[in-house]
Structure 1
């Protein structure tokens, strides 16, 4: 599936993330696929699926059908098909099919803005594709994860993921994959108002799409360039680019992309105050989105509200804005909600609903980040001074008016001219005193304001010095980060090479299938390479199986596991030692000698479980099983038993020197065919959850007993899902290995 990007920039013109509910769909369709052809393919695939057996080919065909539904904008049906493919893949143990299904489901969940579900599925796909040498699908899964973050307004996390995907695609992807990521990165720069950088990335992507003759992506570049030019105030240039995009999308019969382009053109007309045209384009966009069943209609609804407000039709404006508010709250679109609340406050105020307007304004302020800077400080100081001066001026006017009323009253009572003169002189003196007091008060305020301004200027100088120092520190940190990134990249490359080597020495599927008709291997390294390993070999009629847990994990554990595998090959294949007790004893001697433990006590070692299986001499329906363990047990469940039995290993770790001699104990059993054997490392039982609780041996044994009636292939995903539910957000603490075989 092509990368589904990038009208992100087109709607980023409208807000920091307004467009993100729709921007990815554009690249979903291809110019070679008209709607009739898509419908014909869908019918053919549905008929074919009904005839196929439940195998990997049916899973792949289901994925093809899901792609057709996605191209037709039927995301819900695409998700249902993906879940069917996932269930079938788990049933037949088609591992790649399982994680490809997670990718398909996560992609379509994102189209419906179900971000938490989408991120959960994509995270599983990313983990698998990264650790199984599938860089293209790894890059695509990262791309979809980044889109989720971008749609939720997390620009920093989105850019981090996009840059990682770009590096992968530049090395392993197609030109179109690279172009898609260039647009996504350009959009993030556009959000940060770095328009020249955004235009640079858009034009690089456009040159790629022109060279590959990919019209659908050319349309995306045109509309993103139109957005950038509109932000720069070049609305006429913006309209030229957007109409180029509209022409291409209509030519390609891409309804979803056409709707997005119409909304973007409507936004440009709003900036030009040509509201009727804006309404016309946004209504047409809304009509298309309704016909497609798209729920993310926040942007055209908000733009309709804005356009009607421009025409002074505030009732219609409020109606559309409230619809947009409901969707934004439901989908937790914080940046969209900030703008919608501000516009609702303005429209409610215009119709006289001051209380409602005040509530919207308060909510807007709660979401809106603000900075207290020097300009705000000066304005507050100025407003305070104006307020005090106005209050003093009004008090003086009141005193003068009171004096005039008193004087008029005295004249009206017929008092003598002399008394009137005295009163006039007294009032005059009082006025002079008042003016003197006011003058002194005003001078004092001027001095205070002067001192305050001096302090603010000094503080501003200090802030500028601190900003310069912070900037220098930031540059130094960026340089260190670059060095750390390069060093980490080199280390990871070396470790991945080690993983290839380690994978090569572990038993392949063909070897396990040769010795066991039914089995499962739950193998989850904590890091790229593992300290846990499993080994199998056959000498004459005996099959020897070993599971081991080396000291440590990651690179140290992996080195110890490679040393141990070489020793096992020497002990069993060369020396023909098949008794589990003798294998562990010889392995103990070789390990102490190889690691020079006498000079350097316990530098490393391992715990292990060893089983040998051979036909029984007493009955054809049973097998002879010999077991010896180094601190690791063997669990078994016969067909006629209701409880799991446990054979404990000896309390000896290989590679450890003990004061008193210790010897391994061997157990011999005659077990019926069909008996289940389980052995492995302690990583699963010791895994903690967020409450610091272990998964526990008893919990594992209960889980195995509950699922005894189903096949081992079906047991593995149940055990793994139980582990993931136990861990939740907790990281894996140790390598995990569990093997199950049926005799």
Structure 2
């Protein structure tokens, strides 16, 4: 019967290590040191850098702490406009968001950090943002994009002579090539990274480089080299007291010991790794440790215990929704069911694993599945089906170049051909398998190959070779399943149990000592309270006596004052009568003012309804022209000097955002004039040239308000655009003309705001220059979002009388792209309310947005 080899239970964990290989070790003492530093008298920039440094230590484990410190960094950076602080904060937020699996949001945050770093020429910020983006592409399986991003990182690091950044780029690029099975390229890159980190004297990353190099040896089946290199990494991490790194090394060394048949040492390493992980509470890594420990019990044929631990690992993987781990756990369960002869249950587990590995494009996992499905088919007598599965497994593993894995497939192919009495083919496969297994030193593979060769040599009449193969089989079996190994494993289990019980007892003793100390403290506090109560009582009696004597003195003084009060009371009565008369007069005036206010308010409401009906189309009307749109319209008073004008004439669509002089009633009258003139010029006179419309609008306002002969300077600012081909083309032609107002637009694939500025003069008023309005033309793709605005939003001040400003408004436009247009109105309103903090609105506000 097929015996699953030890390597199957180790490679999944190693892959996980590769993905996390450039994390900073979490050092509680370092975090405490940074928090202590915050108590000193730091500058604002130093405080921001310290907040970001603390967040960086938490950015793989604790999203709450990352948010807490990055928010502090961002708030302080906003006050002093510290762009480096922004870039580092968004990077930290992006990394924890990626760790939590929200790749879309993480990508947005990394690009945000990259854009800020690029704008301010912050090289380290650009490198770390590119590193984050590469990690996302790598986790999503988009190796081509990951390689491209890491190559950009390397190019930048070389140009800026950033040794640490260059080492990071080489290392991460090596990880991608390793997952593709391109071990020669990966090894060269990891060695480059190692040399650079040695040059920079960076022991954390030197240890990680050794770990990555050892991983390549492991994949190639060069276990002796892998073990030596893992131990080099272990020595460095012990000096650094890097507990997470030590857990990685213990696990990987345990995998090598298991492959070499040294089960007691392997189990010892796995339990050391698990003890560290249980303290940190990282569920994914705990589950992977359980997988490896279960593999030891499987190899010792303790199938019930192995099955129980594998199921525990699967439960954890399902809780955290780690698909690659779930696929491996189903595969491992299938291996145990197969060893127990439960082929139907084994087949179901392998099928579940196979489907997940197909979704994840996990080549190694698919090779494992095909191998075991082939073994199941062979055990059921479906020999042709078995050959099909096994040949698929061989093809994948030959592409990956993993010698030990290839040997396992060759053994099963030899066994299948033996069952078909195709002895020559069987001999070819089994001899190749044994040679390969002897090179890699995998005791389990040597045992399996020699066992089947012994049977084959006997069948083809070569008894001497059959005997030699049988002796080799027995020698390997005795080394793997000897009494000493079993006793050592039992001792390790007992030792582990004793240490856990000892640890629990120590915790209880510590708690008991704490409780006793708290009781002593409470008794001391009670005595102090008793003394304090006695002193308070004495003090109270003294104060009470003083108060009594003072009261007697005050009574005498009050008696003397009473006569004066009686005399003054008569005068007060006369004044009271006079005040009542004045109050009645004021109340009468107040009623008249209230009635006047009510009439004025009713008039304003009527004026609002009239203005709304005549000037502003309703959302339903706008939706007929632009299904995807947003209008944020907020007058300062009841009626407004801002208005928007949207009309479809033939195949042309006109959109205008108009900001008239003043607000309230004067602004409303100007908006009525502006709306009437736009209707007359475009709808009646059919003037379809936006620049010409603005020129004619200027002359009409000047004429109607007699501005040439009076001091009237009222007018308006306007952004006017004409759209052609909106419904019947992939590109829309835009003709734009503006009077002091711009047009903003955002492409769907970019996260930048583009701007077309209007002419620097208003409509109406006296013209002091010969500047004329001009048309600007551009073609925009479908999906582009366009915004026309008045200046009310950006000019609004906060409680400190600081205006929001155009720069902050553009940043808000970018943040709003996370929401659909129909939700952006609420986004702008909430941000404005938060910014104003209850201060009075300064001007009318208008934002018109629509998507092509």
TM-score, scaled to structure 1: 0.47
TM-score, scaled to structure 2: 0.42
Greater C-alpha radius of gyration: 2
